[in-house]
Amino acid sequence: MSTAAEFCRQALRSAVAQLPSFQPDTADLTQLRCALLLYQLSDRQHWLQRLRDACRVQDFPGLEPTARGAWLELLCDAWVVDANGPFRGNAAQLSALPCSGPQAINGLLRYWRITGEASFKEHALQLLKELDNTTGPAHAAAMLAGYRATGAQELLDEARRRLARPRPETLTIGWWPLARDLLDWGAEDVVDYVQSWPNGAPPPAAQICGLAPILLPILELKIRWWEASELDEGYVAEAVTFPYPAMRMRLERRDSPGQVYFEPSLGGNHYQQLEDAGIVASLLEQMVSEVDRQGILHGARRRTSRRPIGRQ
């Protein structure tokens, strides 16, 4: 392990130790995203319960339209790992409310992936067309979400252009996972900034959300497709929504007609190419279970209540 990675791991452990308790009625989005991430990594039920309690008392109609997209994305991610919690109803309630801004695109596409309701995809892609030429992480994330929905390479290129080449000190730490995906950031890219944190560290929840995906090995899934409609299928949705904090999805059109196939890799180690769509999620589950996370938390989460995504 590199010195940079070890230093960042120590910073992450320190952030977990310093993480304050939060009240359900005052928790902010970063704290709840942190609780979900810690549950995914540790499988400790108290993190999930905190998230459930907070979402049960959240005033979703009272949110500003520009804030609703990020909340909808969180609710969908929580719904995927906890089919029996309040998140499905919360997401349905929030999806019926007007939302705006670039982060609405991520939330609407996430909801479409889980429910299969095409109107949410159509709405999101229309919002994507209406975005101005602003650069920055929120717009880059919207372009990346559009790419994952359509396979349009120009959207991936535009996502990288809009993110540009940020430095850790100029990119809000909550967007570090986006830089991990688009720019392949690792511990070496952020360690100098992390070492300066004693002069003004971000809140522990923000540190956890930023550092954990940087330190985990990237789980990359290449999907090779021929017909664009194939990307709407339920087995693709299950792969796209797989709950791993350092997930990277790349879509490539085949050179000739044929069925969809998948090429997974973890930390640069390639696994077998799959043409059986029905076992993709099982293979991803197996790959993640092999990740040694003892240096980060306490082991990989084995999902027992993940909502099956099966559609027509």
> pLDDT of 31-59, one tens digit each?
999 999 999 988 889 999 999 999 999 99
Mean pLDDT of 55-70: 96
- Supply the pLDDT for residue 300: 38
pLDDT in tens, 219-245: 999 999 999 899 999 888 988 899 999
pLDDT value of position 258:
84
Question: At 277, is the pLDDT very low, low, confident or very high (cuts 50, 70, 90)?
Answer: low
pLDDT(307) > 50: no
pLDDT at 259 over 60: yes
* pLDDT at residue 34 in the model: 97
Mean pLDDT throughout 18-29?
92
* pLDDT at res. 197: 87
Q: What percent of the chain has pLDDT over 90?
A: 73
pLDDT of residue 308: 42
pLDDT tens string 109-149: 999 999 999 999 999 999 999 999 999 999 999 999 999 99
Residue 156 has pLDDT above 70, yes or no: yes
pLDDT over 60 at 298, yes or no: no
Instruction: With a cut of 50, say whether residue 254 has pLDDT above it.
Output: yes
Q: What's the pLDDT at 294?
A: 52
CA 47 to chain centre: 17
On whether the 3-216 domain is CATH 2.60.40.2240, my answer is: no
Asked if pLDDT for residue 69 goes beyond 90, the answer is yes
**Owner of token pair 């804030």:** 67
147-154 long-range contacts, Cβ below 8 Å, gap at least 24?
Answer: 147/251, 148/109, 148/240, 148/249, 148/251, 149/109, 149/112, 149/113, 149/121, 149/124, 149/125, 149/231, 150/125, 150/228, 150/231, 151/223, 151/225, 151/228, 151/231, 151/251, 151/252, 151/253
What pLDDT band is residue 155 in, cutting at 50, 70 and 90? very high
- State how far the Cα of 63 lies from the Cα of 58, in Å rounded to an integer: 9
- Look at residue 267 and tell me whether its pLDDT is greater than 70: yes
Domain extent listing, the chain: 3-216
Distances (CA, A) of 1 to 18, 188, 198, 289: 24, 11, 24, 20
Percentage above 70 pLDDT, the chain: 92
pLDDT value at residue 81: 94
Which pLDDT value is given to residue 299?
37
Q: What angle do CA 205, 247, 249 make, to 5 degrees?
A: 140
For residue 192, name the pLDDT band (cuts at 50, 70, 90): very high
Read off the tokens for 226. Answer: 């021929």
